[in-house]
Amino acid sequence: MITSLDVLDEEQSARTRQDVYALRSHWTPRGAEPASFFTLGSPSYLDLAENPDGGGYYAHARADRPVLWERFGWLYGRLAQMLEEHLKEPVHYPENLALPGFHVWLAPAVFTKPKAPIHFDMQYRAMEWPPGADLSRLISFTLPLRLPGAGGGLNVWEATYEEFREALDKGWIDGASDLQRFHPRQHVAYTVGRLVMHSGHILHQVAPCARVEPDDERLTLQGHGVWCSGRWSLYW
């Protein structure tokens, strides 16, 4: 259900964080002002799936691509190498889609209550895929680069999107979060530099932090993949 891969060491993780801050002028504030949650890059779940007309996903993806590639080309190369070794299948970054990007949660945005949405990763349905795409073969991944002192992680439930659709169609539930009643929660603790990967079709939630200090921060690289024409298309 969950796979973990060691991708970066401590020094590489710190270097990546420095580079994210070097591009602070490119961060996009998300949520209420004063902003404390930002993205670097173009997340399809925000700029396309939630806002298909006004989010400007494809324009932002094109504009961000050279900036991100210049600064993080080594990281994208490392990520591709590690995924290819694990999956034993080729990967690439399609030119028309956003590169994997970054979530930046400054201390005020790091929550201590389980208020993040419980969900499946469905953003791929808002995109146009070529005929060779297999939308039953999906991956989602998170690479932690910095975590609060009390740690961070992912809550998961052994419930699939297919189970959700069946239960919804039969009237057993009203929404994805109702599946909590039937499946125990599991907590996956994050480690800086270790990538956590799953299908995106398991029920999951950003886990709250036990406590938050003023200088805490949660910084992660985020991305997805779709199997398409004999290789994995990686994007955000």
Q: What is the pLDDT of residue 233?
A: 98
pLDDT at 98 over 90: yes
Task: Give the tokens for residue 100.
Answer: 């994997």
Cα separation of the two ends of the chain: 21
How far is it, in rounded angstroms, from Cα 94 to Cα 19? 23
Query: What distance separates the 2 farthest-apart alpha carbons in the chain?
Result: 51
* 123 touches 48 (CB < 8 A): yes
Q: Cis omega before residue 34 (within 30°)? A: yes
**What residue numbers bound the domain in which 147 lies?**
3-235
Q: What is the pLDDT of residue 54?
A: 61
Q: What is the pLDDT of residue 31?
A: 85
Nearest to 164 by CA among 124, 118, 133, 125: 118
Domain with residue 160: its CATH number is: 2.60.120
Mean pLDDT within 77-86: 99
pLDDT at 113 over 90: yes
* 24 touches 32 (CB < 8 A): no
pTM of the model: 0.95
pLDDT digits (tens, 9 = 90+) for 147-176: 999 999 999 999 999 989 998 999 999 988
Q: What's the whole-number average pLDDT of the chain?
A: 95
How far is it, in rounded angstroms, from Cα 209 to Cα 31? 19
Q: What is the pLDDT of residue 129?
A: 95
Q: What is the pLDDT of residue 180?
A: 86
The domain total for the chain is: 1
